[in-house]
A and B are shown apart, each in its own frame.
Chain A
Amino acid sequence: MRDVAVRFRAAYGAPGRHLLLLVGCFAVAGWVALRLAGEATAGRMLLWFVGAAIAHDFVLFPIYGSADRALRAAVGERRARPASGPSLLNHLRVPALAAALLFLVYLPGILRQGRETYLAATGQDQQPFLARWLLVSAALFLASGVLYAYRRWRARNA
C-alpha cells in the first residue's frame, strides 16, 4: 500500500490529496461551465474570464513594467538610489502608480462609458469625472514633489 502511494507520488508529482483537491476545483468550474453553456452570452463570459487574466499578464504588466524601466532610465541610477537623501525615482513612481490605479478602477466614469444606463440610474451625466481624476492625479504628484523637496532639504541640512 505504501509502495503504491510512493509510486503514485513519483509518477504524478504530488501526493494523492493534491489530485483530490484539483479534481474538486475543476469539478466546480466544469459544473459552472456546463450550466452556463446554454446561455446565449456564455462565449462572452468565457472571453472576459480568460481575457481578464491575459489582459493583466500580457498587457497591463508589460505596460507598467516597461513604464517603470523607462522612468528609471530617465531619472538615472544615481537619483534612483542616492547614497543619502530621498529617491527621486520613488517620488515619481508612487504618484504615477496611484494615478494609473485610479484611472483603471474608475475608468467608466472618466471615459464616460455606459452613458445611458448611468443616466437612467442616477439622472446625471459623467461630465465631472475626467477633470476630477486629473486634479486628484495632479495633487498626488504635487504632494509627492513637496515631500521630496522637504526630504532633500532635510537631508542636506542634517
Chain B
Amino acid sequence: MSADRTSPGDHPGPPPQTEPPGRPAYGFPRRGWALLAEHPPPGARRIGERWRSPLRGPWLTAVYGLALLVGLPLVFLTGLLDYLAYSPQFGQALPHDVGWLRLPPFDWPTGPSWLFRVTQGLHVALGITLIPIVLGKLWSVIPKLFDWPPARSVAQLLERLSLVLLVGGILFEIATGLLNIQYAYLFGFDFYTAHYFGAWVFVAALVTHVALKLRRMLTALRSRPVLAELAVPRDATRPEPPDPDGLVAARPGPATVTRRGALALVGGLSLLLAGLTVGQNFDGRWRSTALLLPRGRQPGEGPTGFPVNRTAAAAGVRAADNGAGWRLALRADGRQASLDRAALLAMPQHTARLPIACVEGWSTLQTWTGVRLRDLAALVGAGQPGSAHVRSLEKAGQFAQATLQANQVLDPDSLLALRVNGVDLTPDHGYPARVIVPALPGVHCTKWVAEIEFRRQPDA
C-alpha cells in the first residue's frame, strides 16, 4: 500500500485541537452560558477525551443520515397508507379519533389485490431493515450527548430538546412496532394510539432536523467523494478535520476499521435483518427463512396449513355457534334473509386467488371459493349498497365487526368464502364463512360471519 492513498479530505496540518474552530458563539445571556461552560460536572471533560474512533465525523454521519432520509419517509408514508386502508371514514381505523391529524378521506381501492400486502409488508420490513442504520447514526453522533456546555444559546438548547423528540420518537416507534409484530404487549398501553401519535411527534422532529441540517449533510457528503473514500485502506484511514459540531474525536486513536468497513457493517446488518424478515410474506419454503419471527412458521400441513391471526378458541367461537345450527343473516332496509351453509353452497360459486395480509407485516396468498358479496346484496334487494356492516360470531374483540366500502362489496372478487384451496374452511380460518376482499387488511376480512347488513349510506 502506498502511503499517499490518504483520505481525500484529510489535512496534513496541525493535530486536532481540543476546542475545534467554528463552535457557535454564546447567545443571550452570554455570561450565563459562559459560566455554565466553565463549570462542567465532574467527569465531563474526561468523557470528552475518551472518544477514540477516528471514523466519527460529519461525512460518516451524513452517509447514515442520507440513507435514513431516503428510508424513513417511506416507512412513514406506508404507515399512513395502512391507517387509510382501515377506512377511517367509518371510524374503524385505530386510533379512532385523531383530531387534526385526520387524513384526507379516500376510498381504499380493491385493486391491485396485493396493494395492502405490499404497503404493509414494506412498512414492517423496511422499518426493521433501517434499525442498524438508526443505531449506526446514533453511534456516530453520541459524543454530542456528553458535550459540555450542553448549549451555548437558547437556539441550541431548543434544538437539543427537539433531538429528544427525534431520538425518543424513532426508538419509541421501533420498540412498539417490534413488540407488536411479535405479540408481546409489554408496554401496557394501546399500540395503535402510541404508534400513530408517536409517528407524528417523530416526523415533526425529523422535518425540523432535516431543515436545519440538510445543508450541512450535503456539504459533508461533498467533502469526501464516496467512491474515493471507499477505496481508502485501513492504514490510511484518518480522522476528518475538526468540525464545529464536535463529532470528530479530540484525541482519535488509530483506525481498526475503514469507513468502507463501517458502512459495510451497517449495510450488512440491515441485509441480515431484511433477509430474516421478508420471508413472512411468502408461502412454501420461503416462509421459513423468517427464522426468528412468528410468521416464519407454517402452522400446519395441507390446504389449510397457512397462518391465522386469531384462533377460533381465542375468539371464543365454539362448535355450538358455528355448527349445523349456524345461519347467515342478511339485512337491507328492513328486508331480511337467513341462509344456512347448504343454501350458500347452492348459490353461484366464485373462486379468486387473494392474499390475506396482516398489519403485523405478514401475508399469505390462497385460493378462496364462495359467494360474491354483491350476489348476497342483490339477494336482499340492495344492488348498489353504500356500505356493508359485517358482524362475526365472535362476541368481544376489536375486530368482531367491520364495515366495508361500496367498492369492497361490489368488486367481483369480494367473497363470502366457504372454502379455501378446494376444501372447507377450518374453524381457525373462519368456518362456516368468512369475508375475503382484495387489498383489504386481514383483520377486516371478518371470520365466522354471523350477519351482513347492507346500508344505503356510505356512513352508518
Mark A residues whose CB is within 8 Å of B.
10-14, 18-19, 21-22, 24-26, 28-29, 31-32, 35-36, 39, 41, 44-45, 48-50, 52-53, 55-57, 61, 72, 80-81, 87, 89-90, 94, 97-98, 101-102, 105-110, 113-114, 117-124, 126, 128-129, 132-133, 136
Contacts and interface: CB of A to CB of B under 8 A. Distances in A.
A25 B414 CA distance: 43
Contacts of A29: 165, 201, 204-205
Contact of A57 (B24, B142, B307): B142
Interface in B85-99: 99
A116 to B, nearest CB: 9
Contacts of B212: 18, 21
Interface string B135-146: 100110010010
Contacts of A98: 268-269, 272
A103 to B, nearest CB: 9
Contacts of A114: 179, 182-186
Interface stretch (B69-77, B192-200, B332-340, B384-392): B192-200
A21 B168 contact: no
Contact of B234 (A35, A45, A81, A124): A81
B292 A113 contact: no
Given A25-B162, A35-B99, A89 B272 contact: no
Given A45-B187, A49-B169, 4 more contacts: A12-B155, A25-B165, A56-B138, A118-B294
A25 B169 CA distance: 12
B431 to A, nearest CB: 14
Nearest to A118: B183
Contact of B188 (A31, A41, A129, A136): A41
Most buried by A among B179, B272, B294, B297: B294
Contacts, number: 218
Interface stretch (B11-19, B308-316, B401-409): B308-316
A53 B168 contact: yes
A68 to B, nearest CB: 10
Given A25-B205, A48-B172, A122-B307, A13 B24 contact: yes
Contacts of B445: none
Contacts of A21: 207-208, 211-212
A61 B167 CA distance: 14
7 contacts: A24-B204, A26-B162, A45-B189, A49-B172, A49-B198, A113-B182, A120-B313
B257 interface: yes
B190 A28 contact: no
B155 A117 contact: no
A136 B275 CA distance: 13
A117 B168 contact: no
Interface in B137-186: 138-139, 142, 145, 152-156, 158-159, 161-162, 164-165, 167-169, 171-172, 174-176, 178-179, 182-186
Nearest to A35: B99
A61 to B, nearest CB: 6
A90 B261 contact: yes
A81 B307 contact: no
A49 B310 CA distance: 29
Given A31-B100, A32-B200, A39 B178 contact: no
B48 interface: no
Interface of B: 24-28, 99-100, 128, 131-132, 135, 138-139, 142, 145, 152-156, 158-159, 161-162, 164-165, 167-169, 171-172, 174-176, 178-179, 182-190, 193-194, 197-198, 200-201, 204-205, 207-208, 211-212, 234, 254-257, 261, 265, 268-269, 272-273, 276, 291-295, 297, 299, 307-311, 313-314, 428
A48 B142 contact: no
A44 B198 CA distance: 13
Contacts of B200: 28, 32
Contacts of B254: 81
A118 B208 CA distance: 38
Contact of A106 (B142, B193, B293, B297): B293
Given A56-B138, A108-B179, A122 B308 contact: yes
Nearest to B162: A25
A14 B189 contact: no
A121 B183 contact: yes
B299 A32 contact: no
Q: List the 6 closest A-B pairs by CB distance, nearest first.
A: A13-B153, A114-B184, A13-B27, A13-B155, A120-B314, A108-B184
A18 B176 CA distance: 31
B155 A14 contact: yes
B193 A36 contact: yes
A41 B190 contact: yes
A119 B311 CA distance: 8
Contacts of B27: 10-13
Contact of B131 (A10, A28, A101, A133): A101
A94 B265 contact: yes
Contact of A89 (B142, B165, B256): B256
Contacts of B188: 41, 44
Contact of A124 (B184, B276, B294): B294
Given A10-B27, A108-B184, A41 B297 contact: no
Nearest to B159: A22
A12 B153 contact: yes
A113 B295 CA distance: 16
Contacts of B261: 90
A19 B158 contact: yes
A120 B311 contact: yes
A66 to B, nearest CB: 11
